[in-house]
């Protein structure tokens, strides 16, 4: 069956094409009953907007540029799934770029997205991005931008993130309630927004339970086992009884380093990550982690950006949308007395 058009819908419902077009755009000019008839008919016959026709009519490309640090990271793959689902349902296509944790690559990918006439950008900043002037310049040129996950307080932009503070607080509190007192915190570079938020949650939990904040138990690391192992070895000299890693990639490196040193988990130290990697429950021991709502973050970020593009939100209206996290307790952080002997 050929794809139906606005003219087909108009002919079937005895309406003008302009009325059908406005009804599909949810225009206030069309009464609710007419909208309902049009939308139901369009759904029944699987109507899809013609992106080429729309772009010519609206002087928009109906393309969204998405820039992530790394597509191979399962978290960002899930975010992209959420972005793509919402974008497709609203008649937009997605172009995906990777910065590979490089500020220089991020600059290049932003330029490429603009060169391809993207109507707006969704960006999670690279691990080496501390200067966001390249994005501020685009905002001044009225290009809609929404940041997600890794954001910047130096940019007046709408941001969508997990509730990092509450997630980190819950992870640290769980360790304290499990009897741990010297909790090491392994995190990524300090200028990244999620680092600051998760560190704040960690500190707040220590304060609630009257435990001192010890700078000697805090370490910053790049991703990768070769980077994490020496940091973990250094932390072990401080006699921690638990490790809270601010990301599961760090937690996996931490797990490998602890096993290499024959440190028993959780008998000697507990371990908790942050993200909920798909392999977390397959590890030995299964790893406790804070689950980030990646799919929902992608969906909300896409909805907000498209609303900006279509004028349903005002430009230059900064704000923060935080999506709740969920603590998942597995064997790696259970009190020793609670572990089942096999």
**Do 249 and 112 sit in the same domain of this protein?**
no
341 CB-near residues (< 8 Å, 6+ apart): none
pLDDT confidence bin for 218, thresholds 50/70/90: very high
Looking at residue 340, what is its pLDDT? 37
As given in the structure block, the two tokens for residue 167 are 């997630």
Q: Give the mean pLDDT of the chain.
A: 90
The CATH number assigned to the domain holding 215 equals 3.40.50.2300
CA distance 51 to 57: 10
Per DSSP (E only), the strands in the chain are 63-68, 93-98, 120-123, 145-148, 158-162, 183-187, 218-220, 242-245, 270-275, 288-291, 319-323, 326-328
Residue 1 domain-assigned?
Answer: no
Residue 37 CA from chain centroid, whole number: 37
The answer on 270 and 219 residing in a single domain is: yes
**Beta pairing class for 326-328 and 288-291:** antiparallel
Q: How many CB atoms lie within 10 A of CB 93?
A: 14
* For residue 58, pLDDT beyond 70: no
Please tell me the distance from the alpha carbon of residue 11 to that of residue 13, in angstroms, as a whole number: 6
User: Residue 304: how many CB atoms within 10 A of its CB?
Assistant: 23
Question: What six digits make up the tokens of 214?
Answer: 């010890």
pLDDT of residue 313: 62
Q: What is the pLDDT of residue 56?
A: 47
Sign of CA dihedral 167, 173, 176, 182: positive
Question: What one-character-per-residue DSSP string does 241-256 give?
Answer: SEEEESSHHHHHHHHH
- Give a yes or no: residue 91 inside a domain: yes
> In angstroms, rounded to a whole number, what is the distance separating the alpha carbons of residues 33 and 11?
17
Is 79 in contact with 292 (CB distance < 8 Å)?
no
Residue 1 has pLDDT above 60, yes or no: no
The CATH code of the domain that includes 13 is 1.10.260.40
**CA 145 – CA 143 distance, rounded (Å):** 6
Same domain flag for 103 and 24: no
Q: Which domain holds residue 130?
A: 60-162+294-323
* Dihedral sign of CA atoms 63, 132, 220, 222 in order: positive
Q: DSSP of 151-186, one letter per residue?
A: --TTS--EEEEE-HHHHHHHHHHHHHHTT--SEEEE
What the block records as the tokens of 334 is 């259970």
Length of the chain: 342
pLDDT at 68: 97
pLDDT band at 99 (very low <50, low <70, confident <90, very high): very high
Q: What is the pLDDT of residues 137-187, one digit of tens each?
A: 999 999 999 999 999 988 989 999 999 999 999 999 999 999 999 999 999
Q: Does one domain contain both 24 and 83?
A: no
Same domain for 273 and 179, yes or no, is: yes
User: DSSP assignment of 85-123, as one string?
Assistant: HHHHHTT-EEEEEE-TT-HHHHHHHHHHHHHTT-SEEEE
**Do both 11 and 146 map to the same domain?**
no
In a domain, 43, yes or no: yes
Residue 258, domain member (yes or no): yes
Flag whether 28 is in a domain.
Answer: yes
How much of the chain, in percent, has pLDDT values that exceed 90?
A: 70
Q: Between the ranges 28-42, 105-119, 225-239, 316-330, where is the mean pLDDT highest?
A: 105-119
214 and 335 together in one domain: yes
| Closest to 102 in 3D by CA, of 20, 223, 217, 209 | 223
Instruction: Let me know whether 14 and 40 are in one domain.
Output: yes
For residues 22 and 30, the answer to whether their CB atoms sit within 8 Å is yes
- Does 55 fall in a domain? no
- The tally of domains found in the chain comes to 3
For 62-82, write each residue's pLDDT tens digit.
Answer: 899 999 999 988 899 999 999
Residue 65, judged by CB atoms within 10 A of its CB (0-12, 13-18, 19+), counts as buried
Its pTM stands at 0.80
Q: What separation in angstroms does the CA of 33 have from each of 29, 57, 180, 265?
A: 12, 26, 61, 62
Confidence class for position 341, pLDDT limits 50, 70, 90 = very low
Q: Give pLDDT, residue 225.
A: 55
Residues 70 and 15 in one domain: no
Instruction: Verify that 215 and 245 share a domain, yes or no.
Output: yes
**Per-residue pLDDT averaged across 314-321, rounded?**
71
d(CA 271, CA 277): 14
């Amino acid at each position: 069956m050929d794809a139906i058009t606005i003219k087909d819908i108009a002919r079937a419902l005895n309406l003008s094409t302009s009325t059908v077009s406005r009804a599909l755009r949810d225009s206030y000019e069309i009464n609710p009953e007419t909208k309902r008839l049009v939308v139901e008919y369009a759904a029944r016959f699987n109507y899809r907007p013609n992106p080429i026709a729309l772009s010519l009519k609206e002087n928009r490309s109906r393309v969204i540029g998405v820039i992530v640090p790394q597509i191979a990271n399962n978290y960002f793959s899930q975010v992209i799934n959420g972005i793509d689902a919402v974008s497709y349902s609203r008649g937009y296509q997605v172009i995906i770029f990777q910065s590979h944790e490089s500020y220089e690559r991020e600059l290049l990918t932003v330029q490429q997205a603009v060169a391809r006439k993207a109507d707006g950008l969704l960006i999670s900043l690279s691990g080496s991005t501390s200067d966001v002037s390249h994005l501020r310049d685009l905002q001044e040129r009225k290009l809609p931008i929404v940041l997600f996950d890794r954001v910047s307080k130096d940019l007046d932009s709408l941001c969508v993130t997990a509730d990092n503070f509450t997630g980190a607080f819950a992870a640290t509190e769980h360790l304290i309630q499990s009897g741990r007192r010297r909790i090491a915190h392994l995190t990524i570079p300090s200028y990244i927004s999620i680092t600051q938020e998760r560190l704040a949650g960690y500190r707040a939990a220590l304060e609630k339970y009257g435990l001192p904040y010890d700078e000697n138990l805090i370490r910053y690391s790049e991703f990768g086992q070769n980077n994490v192992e020496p940091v973990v070895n250094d932390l072990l000299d401080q006699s921690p009884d638990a490790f809270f890693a601010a990301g599961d990639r760090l937690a996996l490196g931490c797990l490998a380093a602890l096993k290499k040193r024959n440190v028993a988990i959780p008998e000697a130290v507990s371990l908790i990550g942050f993200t909920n990697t798909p392999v977390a429950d397959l590890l030995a021991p299964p790893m406790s982690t804070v689950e980030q709502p990646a799919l929902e973050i992608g969906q909300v970020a896409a909805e907000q950006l498209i609303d900006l593009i279509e004028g349903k939100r005002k430009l230059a209206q900064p704000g923060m949308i935080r999506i709740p996290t969920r603590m998942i307790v597995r064997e790696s952080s259970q009190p020793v007395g609670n572990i089942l002997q096999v």
